[in-house]
Structure 1
């Protein structure tokens, strides 16, 4: 199946403003970090600054595999998606670099991070454990969406 076939079936590319709007309304995604044996995938909650960066919090310190891999990664990938049905979905794939945010900048990120969704168990752990905030700077973005109708229900 080619992209032309998919576009004929209702697949559309999202432009930068569509992607920004989508990221502004989402709170969870999947972070992919490089390893020798393939990508290490991590579900995560994020805050989006409305422009060029996602921010997320890791709990657990240097004993955490995800934190060690994040610290070693020069580049990473984030996938954010929303599926309402097999005929109505959106996904955004982001490529970029990732870095720890100095603690001196954390207060400036409060509003961005307040929007991040976290399970209650993580909210409690943040108060008691080693926390690091990371910035994922978006270098490349690609968004796709499908908002078509099921076969046989085409509009006339």
Structure 2
């Protein structure tokens, strides 16, 4: 079924303001990078500038699949979603470009990155690993939500 067909069941498209609010209220999503056979998917925390950029901190080892896939791609996807119940959820899909942020610019992003969630092991591991900051510049965004019972249920559709 298409999104248009699902609207009769209560699915709603999110506008730009709702998408920005949603991205501002969340901290984790899934980055999708192209790979040879199947997409490479990574759960990542992010910082959001409130407009058109997300920022990801990468903790890298000596040969990082994440780093090479990020550096080689022209287009990536990022999915942010939350599910409270089967009738109350939101999902935003972003498409954009990834670039490395030079270390000389990290201080400028301190406020954006100040409340980014990271596992505690990052603090310990970052002492021995390489850290890079990536910018995800949003080119396209779509958001959908379902909040409340489907209209058929709300209209008093009682079971016998």
Question: Considering the TM-score relative to the shorter chain, is it more than 0.5?
Answer: yes
Q: Distance in 2 between matches of 1:133 and 1:105?
A: 10
Greater shift after overlay, 131-140 or 114-123? 114-123
User: In structure 1, what is the equivalent of residue 123 of structure 2?
Assistant: 123
Task: Tell whether the 8 Å contact from 1:61 to 1:131 is kept in structure 2 after alignment.
Answer: no
CA distance in structure 2 between the aligned counterparts of 1:150 and 1:120, rounded to whole angstroms: 40
Q: Where does 1:1-156 land on structure 2 (aligned, <5 Å)?
A: 1-61=1-61, 63-149=63-149, 153-155=153-155
d(CA) in 2 for partners of 1:152, 1:124: 52
Unmatched runs of 5 consecutive residues or more in structure 2 = none
For the residues of structure 1 that align with 2:150 and 2:53, how far apart are their CA atoms? 35
Q: Is contact 1:61-1:132 (8 Å) kept?
A: no
Other structure's SS at 2:98 match: strand
C-alpha displacement of 1:45: 0.5
Bigger-Rg structure (1/2): 2
Partner SS state of residue 118, structure 1: coil
Q: In the aligned structure 2, how far is the partner of 1:44 from the partner of 1:90?
A: 18
After TM superposition, the structure 1 stretch with the greater mean CA deviation from structure 2, 57-66 or 16-25, is: 57-66
Q: For the structure 1 residues 77 and 62, does the alpha-carbon distance in structure 2 shift closer, same or farther, using more than 3 Å as the test? A: farther
CA distance in 2, matches of 1:9, 1:39: 31
SS of corresponding position for 1:56:
strand
Indicate conservation of the 8 Å contact 2:87/2:149, yes or no.
yes
CA pair 54-141 structure 1, distance change in 2 beyond 3 A? same
Residue 63 of structure 1: SS of its match in structure 2? coil
- SS at 2:126's partner residue? helix
What's the offset of the Cα at 1:68? 1.1
Shift, 1:150, TM fit: 5.8
1:99–1:136 contact (8 Å) kept in structure 2: yes
User: Given the two structures, how large is their TM-score scaled by the length of structure 2?
Assistant: 0.91
